[in-house]
Amino acid sequence: MKRTKIVDLVHTAEFDRQVCVKGWVRTRRGNKNVAFIALNDGSTIHTIQVVVDVARFGEEFLKPVTTGACLCVTGLLVASQGQGQAAEIQAETIEIYGTADPAVYPLQKKGHSLEFLREIAYLRPRTNTFGAIFRLRHHLAYAIHDYFNRQGFYYFHTPLITGSDAEGAGSMFQVTTLDVAHPPKTEEGRIDYSQDFFGHMTNLTVSGQLEGELGAMALGGVYTFGPTFRAENSNTPRHLAEFWMIEPEIAFNDIHDNMNLAEAFLKYVIAYALKHGKDDIEFLAKMYDPELIDRLNFIIDNRFVRLTYTEGIEILEKSGRKFEFPVYWGVDLQSEHERYLVEEHCKCPVILTDYPKDIKAFYMKQNDDGKTVRAMDVLFPKIGEIIGGSEREADYDKLMTRIHELNMDIDSLWWYLDTRKFGTAPHAGFGLGFERLLLFVTGMQNIRDVIPFPRTPKNAEF
Ligand code: ATP
Ligand code: MN
């Protein structure tokens, strides 16, 4: 008999028909005569109740039907007598696919701490919480592609292995096939990378932006959506060593177009999650964060406030608030500053623009004041910076001057600089950390809880 997904049964009104469901036992209750099994197959946060006449199957047969075991059940779908569910199945056949010995299965009871579940990340997708989070992760990934496709952007695949270290010097993971215990040496005694796989030093990418710009200069509007890697030893609840980034890059857009895009895009994907992940968001709100749904609707319903960095600093200076990190013009804002602007002053998402050039990347368009660049960061409640972007410097000479000021090594960047020599154009783009967006949409507090297999310092086992 063909399997039906549980998601298609929990809200059904078509009863008194034969069904076959397959899934994992969440709980088993009952008495000598009747057993109630809550079965979940990952298609929904909800379980379907299987009602088992113990005499029909025998106590011995039902013994291994415990939390975590996997079953195939056929039977009659009927309107439920009990509360909390519309439908239940009166079991006629049960096949046990796999048992889960209660003496050793780690997910026996409900209510494990998120910290404990992180230690068994290979099993935690089977919990209600992580099922909800990973379904939402899927919906958001789909919404992102959907949004850009509708807007006529092309999904452009940028490389994960890169020869340039322009952006991430010091925080990159090296890629090599050299024997690290005995690397070949040059006459001067340095490691001879000409013998390495690619003939020079390579690393994992920290961002697809520079290559994304090449795509925009040909296809008009592109976006990347792929993993990025940063060997930053910052053990924070907002940083991963491997995270996914979405980076649109658009020819002929200026910073205002860029802000409009970022705002419309965030509203679209959050609304999509609310619509298609409703049950999961409601579950997370109930369990972890009662204000979650209001916060999501608030983003959709309100226009983001736009301020310059200089205005932001003035607000912070006048706030009378004692911050852990002092505030002055030129400082790189900390998340306590960003959250003050968003949560207490503006009470709205904020887009902060025109940052001091010294705290921003070399490729950002320089303003005429000689001090600031056309950067734009989108700041969210609870999160702080969720998007970082800018209009790009399209002028070859200005870009070169900045590169020399910063003493950057241009040998590995010549291909990027060529875009400014051959048909340069105004353009803009931004980067959204996918897991930061997920933190916001799920209401989770720790970024390790919104990616199936988090990579953080000293943690890459499974
Ligand atoms: P932060 O100051 O929070 O470290 P950043 O300035 O290094 O961020 P960008 O280089 O602008 O960030 O990267 C673009 C986006 O990628 C950020 O807005 C953020 O959403 C996300 N991001 C950056 N670093 C990480 C990380 N280590 N783990 C997860 N997401 C990250
Ligand atoms: Mn960073």
Res 234: pLDDT: 80
Whether the per-residue pLDDT at 165 is higher than 80: the answer is no
Nearest Cα residue to atom 7 of ligand 1: 388
Question: What are the start-end ranges of the E strands in 304-435?
Answer: 305-308, 350-356, 372-380, 384-391, 427-433
Which atom, in ligand 1's list, is nearest to the CA of 437?
20
Least confident of 2-6, 232-236, 414-418, 448-452: 232-236
C-beta 433 within 6 A of ligand 1: yes
Phi, psi angles (nearest 5°) of residue 391:
-80, 145
* Spatial CB neighbours of 63, under 8 Å, sequence gap ≥ 6: none
Ligand nearest to the CA of 243: 1
In this prediction, residues 124-141 reach a mean pLDDT of 97
C-beta 388 within 6 A of ligand 1: yes
SS3 category, 444: coil
Cβ neighbours, 10 Å, residue 235: 10
Nearest Cα residue to atom 12 of ligand 1: 388
Give dist(CA 77, CA 64) in Å, integer.
24
Which helix (H) or strand (E) element contains residue 255? helix 255-276
Cα–Cα distances in angstroms (integers) from residue 338 to residues 342, 346, 385, in the given order: 6, 11, 7
For the chain, percent of residues with pLDDT exceeding 70: 99
Mean pLDDT of the chain: 95
What amino acid occupies position 192?
D
Tokens of 78: 């009927």
The structural domains of the chain, ordered by start, are 6-98 (2.40.50.140), 125-171+206-449 (3.30.930.10)
Whether the model pTM is above 0.85: yes
**pLDDT band for position 168 (cuts 50, 70, 90):** low
List, for residues 367-391, the tens digit of each pLDDT value: 999 999 999 999 999 989 999 999 9
What amino acid occupies position 259?
M
List, for residues 73-131, the tens digit of each pLDDT value: 999 999 987 777 789 999 999 999 999 999 999 998 778 899 999 999 999 999 999 99
C-beta 246 within 6 A of ligand 1: no
Degrees, nearest 5: CA angle 205-206-208: 70
Whether the per-residue pLDDT at 169 is higher than 80: the answer is no
Res 85: pLDDT: 76
C-beta 230 within 6 A of ligand 1: yes
Ligand nearest to the CA of 332: 1
Res 170: pLDDT: 64
Q: Which residue has the tokens 């239940």?
A: 88
C-beta 240 within 6 A of ligand 1: yes
List, for residues 8-65, the tens digit of each pLDDT value: 999 888 999 999 999 999 999 999 999 999 999 999 999 999 999 999 999 999 999 9
In this prediction, residues 146-167 reach a mean pLDDT of 92
Which atom, in ligand 1's list, is nearest to the CA of 234?
27
C-beta 249 within 6 A of ligand 1: no
Least confident of 149-153, 166-170, 285-289, 314-318: 166-170
CA–centroid distance, residue 317 to ligand 2 (Å): 24
Give dist(CA 130, CA 110) in Å, integer.
13
Give dist(CA 65, CA 29) in Å, integer.
11
List, for residues 302-337, the tens digit of each pLDDT value: 999 999 999 999 999 999 999 999 999 999 999 899
Cα–Cα distances in angstroms (integers) from residue 197 to residues 83, 200, 232, 324, 378, in the given order: 63, 8, 25, 47, 40
C-beta 213 within 6 A of ligand 1: no
Nearest Cα residue to atom 28 of ligand 1: 239
Q: Return the C-alpha torsion angle 170, 176, 182, 183, nearest 10.
A: -80
List, for residues 259-293, the tens digit of each pLDDT value: 999 999 999 999 999 999 999 999 999 999 999 99
Ligand nearest to the CA of 384: 1
Burial of 161 (0-12, 13-18, 19+ CB in 10 A): exposed
Nearest Cα residue to atom 18 of ligand 1: 387
SS3 category, 425: coil
Ligand nearest to the CA of 245: 1
C-beta 296 within 6 A of ligand 1: no
Whether the per-residue pLDDT at 167 is higher than 70: the answer is no
C-beta 387 within 6 A of ligand 1: yes
C-beta 448 within 6 A of ligand 1: no
CA–centroid distance, residue 26 to ligand 2 (Å): 40
